[in-house]
Amino acid sequence: MAQRALKALRQAQGFYPERSRRIKKGLFITFEGVEGCGKSTHSKLLFEYLKKSGYLILHTREPGGTKLGESVRRVLLDSSGILISDLAELFLFEACRAEIVKEIIMPALDKGSIVISDRFSDATFSYQGYGGRVDLEAIKTLDRVATTGLVPDLTILLDIDTLEGLRRARKKGIDRMEKKDISYHKRVRSGYLKLSKQYPGRIKRVEVSGEIPEVQAKIRHEVEIVLQKFKRPR
């Protein structure tokens, strides 16, 4: 246990390669995007499709997915006036991540499962980093410790105009994060776009326009490409 924490810290300091691919067998797919982009609809549709195709598969979300995560989610999203700074948010999201990686994601990947998560580390860089202006290097260090270096194999970034997304999301009610001002949400979207340019091999931007089946087809296309590589013996 202590050795694992030490390894994570050393990875964070750059002593080890970032990827943990060597020690996992499954495939890790994440969905990202600003509010109202249709992330949960599309991740669930993909989950059903892959499940019907016979894959061992797990769907989860962040913050959430564990008892700790779901409890902290209520604190983070409750709009009833708890003060939480951007820095405190960072620690709360990363605490949930440490738990879900250890409790849910790594064990499933070790069994060879496909894991689909609604949000993961890119959300922290985009929301707390670009949106909340918390130092990106600090996030990188903390996130590597929380994830023990786990990076998704594929990230689907569902991209929608910020205002249109918020308009759609607000139909369902407004949570604490959605209450942040529009400039915050615009920085989040541009943060996501920066990340997709920084990691073009992993983050695939899918424009949210047209009907749900059209968008889902684009997502499945990206997933099939990764699945082909995944099936190939290493």
Pick the piece of the chain touching ligand ATM (CB under 6 A) from 8-16, 78-86, 123-131, 191-199: 123-131
Closest approach of Cβ 200 to ligand ATM, in Å? 22
In whole angstroms, what is the distance from residue 10 CA to residue 148 CA? 10
Q: Which stretch binds ligand ATM (CB under 6 A): 5-13, 21-29, 41-49, 117-125?
A: 117-125
Pick the closer one to ligand ATM by CB: 7 or 180. 180
Tell me if 119 contacts ligand ATM by CB under 6 A.
Answer: yes
Nearest to 10 by CA among 145, 151, 147, 152: 145
Q: What is the DSSP letter of 132?
A: T
CA distances 39 to 46, 61, 146, 157, 207, Å, are 10, 10, 23, 9, 12
Distance CA 161, CA 136 (A): 24
Rounded least distance, CB 128 to ligand ATM, Å:
6
User: How many residues touch ligand ATM (CB under 6 A)?
Assistant: 13
* Range in contact with ligand ATM (rule: CB under 6 A) among 15-23, 48-56, 119-127, 152-160: 119-127
What is the phi/psi pair of residue 177, to 5°?
-70, -40
At closest approach, how far in Å is the CB of 35 from ligand ATM? 4
Min. distance of Cβ 119 from ligand ATM in angstroms?
4
What is the number of alpha carbons within 13 Å of residue 233 lying toward its C-beta?
Answer: 0
Nearest to ligand ATM of 29, 123 (CB atom): 123
Burial of 220 (0-12, 13-18, 19+ CB in 10 A): middle
- Interface of this chain with ligand ATM, residues 158 to 197, rule: CB under 6 A: 177-178
| Cβ nearer to ligand ATM, comparing 113 with 128 | 128
Beta-bridge mates of residue 116: 29, 59
By the criterion CB under 6 A, which residues form the site for ligand ATM?
35, 62-63, 77, 93, 118-119, 123-124, 127-128, 177-178
